[in-house]
Structure 1
Amino acid sequence: MTIRHGISENKLQIILQLIQVFLVGLTIGMTRTVIPGLADTEFGLGSQQFLLLTSFVVVFGVVKAIMNLLAGKLSDTYGRKRVLVTGWVVAIPIPLMILYAPSWNWIVAATLLLGVNQGLCWSMTINSKLDLARLNQKGLVNGINEFSGYAAVAIAGVITAYIVDFLGARQGLFIFGVVVIFLGLISSIFSIKETMPWAKLHQVGVTPATHQSLGKLFIQASWHDKVLLSLNQAGLVEKFTDAMVWIFLPVFFLSKNLTLIEGSAIVSVYAVVWGGSQLITGPLSDKIGRKVLIVGGMWICGLGLLSIPYTNNIFLWTLEAGVIGTGMAMLYPTLGAAVADFAPVESRGTLLGIYRFWRDFGYAVSALTLGMVAQMTQVLIAPFLLASTAMILSGLYVLIALPSTQIQK
């Protein structure tokens, strides 16, 4: 078998990997608007019990962060495909746990498994595409990967809202989840190739560096290297935006007497714009550099979040959701590509794993912080103000710390 790098040279496997991340996106997308509503209607968590409401996102964030940190090392040892398949196997109990959950704790436990699934499967889809592609296609690869995943998140949010409207929350999520997870598992076993040979070819001609342990690389990326530190903190803080959309926007829209389908449609605009625009912003960052898109995206998200509680009609909320989605499209694939720019080739996989750890640990930090603020103030506008401020300040730090000239590998 001849091994060549490039998206066009490996288009069939790239397409199959895009289908994989689409299915991964459907799996998490089914929880994005229905679960917050389920908390109130099925388990009696009133809109004032914000800390309990955020608990499932806190657990998801911690678990997914740990899985991201370990996924790179696991895939280097056991191969990308085995880790991908394992992620789907772990997801099998999720629909059953939602269907038969006697208490909210079962939903939290289901999201724990969801965090494992997302951390292993999503990481493997992007790592495998980076293995297959050329090194100067990092931005494009990140863009198409995140487009496929977050387009699926949007689609799942709308579809599950309609299914739940007809069948009920538990039954609707059960049927949708079983179909998606079965397709993901079967296709990962029978259609996906192991891409480690492509990964090893990337290192041909690269002078081996002194081996560094995961712990040393973690300290370097999280503290000593100020460039990687700025990117890692931005990855963490941008989850304040996604946590707001996941937890508080559905609750906010329900408090404004919107139906679940209307709220899901608005949230889906955020995900569709985010996903679709990454087809532009990913390759654009390869041309104009990463910094302007990261900083601009952070600030646009912050201003978009700030505007939502001060408007009061569906058209403006939809427009604001699109604006926030645009900001996320600017920063999200660009952050990952920037980490790859500034990471040495021989430790790039591990440093990307560390970035993804901090990025998804942001779910836990943001959900817990926003929940505490909402619980203490009992005012739904408070988390919007906090998230907006965090995004703007984080963008300012990137503006100061990140060099404008990117390191091309």
Structure 2
Amino acid sequence: MSASRFRPARPAADGPRLGLRANLPQFMLLVAVNALVGGMLGQERTVLPLLAEDVFGLSAYTTALTYILAFGATKAVTNFFAGTWSDRFGRKPVLIAGWLVAIPVPAMLAWGPSWEWIVAANVLLGVNQGLAWSTTVIMKIDLAGPERRGLAMGFNEAAGYVAVAATAMATGAIADHAGLRPAPFLLGAAYVALALGLSTLAVRETREHARAEAARHRVPDGAEHHADLTTGQIARRTSLGDRSLSSASWAGMVNNLNDALAWGLFPLLFASHGLDVARIGVLAALYPAVWGAGQMLTGWWSDHIGRKHLITAGMLLQALAIALVAHGTTFSVWAVSQILLGAGTALVYPTLLAVVGDVAHPSWRARAVGVYRLWRDGGFAVGALLAGAIADLWGLTTAIWSVAALTAAAGLLVAVRMYETRPGGHAPAPR
């Protein structure tokens, strides 16, 4: 099959133009907005696990991880509706709604009088992340067109997770000097104000770009024209029916299960070996920093060599890194493990989103992204329950080894089941 069968026709002179160069100002604005979305998540990465233990006295791991469970479950469900609402009402209103929901979150984290307030704040944070992050993903896919989709997702995810890393390190340093509350969470308040202003005043709607791409979308030889699917059919296709979409959904869920482990239990493991808050903050930042910065390369790379092998390699590298965390006992060993974990995640994260963008028809792509992100961010909830329960029964190290084994299994599943989806990559027709 020739690459030209996937290449969109030249846009009409009076229609929306696709491509990064044609839409660079809006694209970079959305990159900045997504960095602020990531910063909202980063304000918790170092401080909240320590807050659970030191301020609220939660000793059971399962109980301490309830905030991740609340966040992950809410974000997963919100992702699904974000895709549907983006198709129905437009991308920009959904983005603004996500930032309106985030307004009380920093204050609840900074001054909440009980652990229930922290869990409630993470419910709102899950809604914020589900609406705002999903929408920036969809809008960048709309603008980029098919030929630079991997690069677009690399920029999107890089911005978000570099901001996670920078904020995690910043809040760790602030907490080391000013205490765990309230000072670290004032960064989050600034992020909300800036992002809400940009989203309301500067971001433009991109739904017409998706419609323009759909109007000239070319179907590969031998494939059916799946333009008119119901939301239920899209959910089944993304979850089970299509080999690449469903493999991406499973790999995404395991990837974020890993992230729940890194977010909730790694700081407690590091603290149990005598590391101070500042050094825990450095470790908490290393993983998303490498993850974030690496995605600018890996997203571009997947546009040139394909998606499947990068995802397989990334999942196996993550498994190795998590095993190294379980095996290690020193700052230097854990620093290496966090770098490897970030590199493995960078190989996987934008590439999985590019797979969804490759396979899904433009007319239902936003909903497919929502279903994929439902599964992917459900991994936070699964990770909180699974890792917390194993840690309570058999200890932190056993929980970490168990997740390493599960991650390796996910990589092997991708290697066996996923077909190559890159446009021009001689992929079989989607089923």
- TM surpasses 0.5: yes
- Work out which of the residue numbers 159, 170, 182 in structure 2 matches 1:148: 159
**343-352 vs 8-17, which deviates more?**
343-352
Whole-angstrom distance in 2 between the partners of 1:402 and 1:182: 42
Please report the RMSD computed on the Cα atoms of aligned residues, expressed in angstroms: 1.6
Tell me which amino acid in the other structure corresponds to 1:81.
Answer: K
Cα displacement (A) at 1:221 = 2.1
- Cα offsets for 1:328-353 (capped at 9, x unmatched): 00011111111222223332221121
SS at match of 1:45: coil
Identity of aligned residues (%): 37
- Cα offsets for 1:344-397 (capped at 9, x unmatched): 3332221121111100011111111111111111x1101111110010001111
Cα displacement (A) at 1:291 = 1.0
Whole-angstrom distance in 1 between the partners of 2:73 and 2:392: 21
**212-221 vs 312-321, which deviates more?**
212-221
Whole-angstrom distance in 2 between the partners of 1:217 and 1:195: 21
Tell me which amino acid in the other structure corresponds to 1:288.
Answer: I
State whether structure 2 residue 408 is matched by structure 1 residue 395. Answer: no
**399-408 vs 226-235, which deviates more?**
399-408
**Structure 2: gaps (5+ residues):** 1-13, 219-224, 426-431
The equivalent residue for 1:31 is 44
State whether structure 2 residue 248 is matched by structure 1 residue 248. Answer: no
The equivalent residue for 1:271 is 288
Whole-angstrom distance in 2 between the partners of 1:406 and 1:191: 32
The equivalent residue for 1:172 is 183
SS at match of 2:16: coil
State whether structure 2 residue 132 is matched by structure 1 residue 116. Answer: no
SS at match of 2:364: helix
Alignment of 1:196-207 (within 5 A): 196-206=207-217
- Cα offsets for 1:89-143 (capped at 9, x unmatched): 0001111212231211110000000000000001111111111112111100000
**97-106 vs 298-307, which deviates more?**
97-106
Tell me which amino acid in the other structure corresponds to 2:318.
Answer: C
- Work out which of the residue numbers 285, 307, 324 in structure 2 matches 1:307: 324
State whether structure 2 residue 341 is matched by structure 1 residue 324. Answer: yes
Cα displacement (A) at 1:3 = 2.6
Whole-angstrom distance in 1 between the partners of 2:164 and 2:65: 19
- Work out which of the residue numbers 15, 33, 41 in structure 1 matches 2:54: 41
The equivalent residue for 2:30 is 17
Paired residues of 1:336 and 1:352 also in contact (CA < 8 A): yes
Paired residues of 2:146 and 2:358 also in contact (CA < 8 A): no
- Cα offsets for 1:161-202 (capped at 9, x unmatched): 122223322211332121111111111111111112222211
Whole-angstrom distance in 2 between the partners of 1:188 and 1:114: 17
Tell me which amino acid in the other structure corresponds to 1:384.
Answer: I
State whether structure 2 residue 160 is matched by structure 1 residue 160. Answer: no
- Cα offsets for 1:204-248 (capped at 9, x unmatched): 234874632212221222222233221111111111221121011
Paired residues of 2:303 and 2:422 also in contact (CA < 8 A): no
- Work out which of the residue numbers 163, 181, 187 in structure 1 matches 2:198: 187
Paired residues of 1:341 and 1:408 also in contact (CA < 8 A): no
State whether structure 2 residue 384 is matched by structure 1 residue 371. Answer: no
SS at match of 2:182: helix
SS at match of 1:194: coil
State whether structure 2 residue 249 is matched by structure 1 residue 232. Answer: yes
State whether structure 2 residue 89 is matched by structure 1 residue 73. Answer: no
State whether structure 2 residue 366 is matched by structure 1 residue 349. Answer: yes
The equivalent residue for 2:102 is 91
Paired residues of 1:342 and 1:407 also in contact (CA < 8 A): no
Tell me which amino acid in the other structure corresponds to 1:231.
Answer: A
Paired residues of 1:98 and 1:173 also in contact (CA < 8 A): no
Count how many residue pairs are aligned between Structure 1 and Structure 2: 406
The equivalent residue for 2:4 is none
The equivalent residue for 1:381 is 397
The equivalent residue for 1:259 is 276
Whole-angstrom distance in 2 between the partners of 1:407 and 1:141: 15
Tell me which amino acid in the other structure corresponds to 1:400.
Answer: V
Whole-angstrom distance in 2 between the partners of 1:221 and 1:196: 21
Whole-angstrom distance in 2 between the partners of 1:189 and 1:275: 26
Tell me which amino acid in the other structure corresponds to 1:169.
Answer: L
Paired residues of 2:143 and 2:206 also in contact (CA < 8 A): yes
Paired residues of 1:304 and 1:321 also in contact (CA < 8 A): yes
Tell me which amino acid in the other structure corresponds to 1:383.
Answer: A
Whole-angstrom distance in 2 between the partners of 1:232 and 1:408: 23
SS at match of 2:44: coil
Alignment of 1:120-135 (within 5 A): 120-135=131-146
Whole-angstrom distance in 2 between the partners of 1:204 and 1:405: 21
Q: Give the TM-score normalised by the residue count of structure 2.
A: 0.91
SS at match of 1:345: coil
Q: Give the TM-score normalised by the residue count of structure 1.
A: 0.96
- Work out which of the residue numbers 344, 347, 350 in structure 2 matches 1:333: 350
Paired residues of 2:169 and 2:285 also in contact (CA < 8 A): yes
Tell me which amino acid in the other structure corresponds to 2:37.
Answer: V
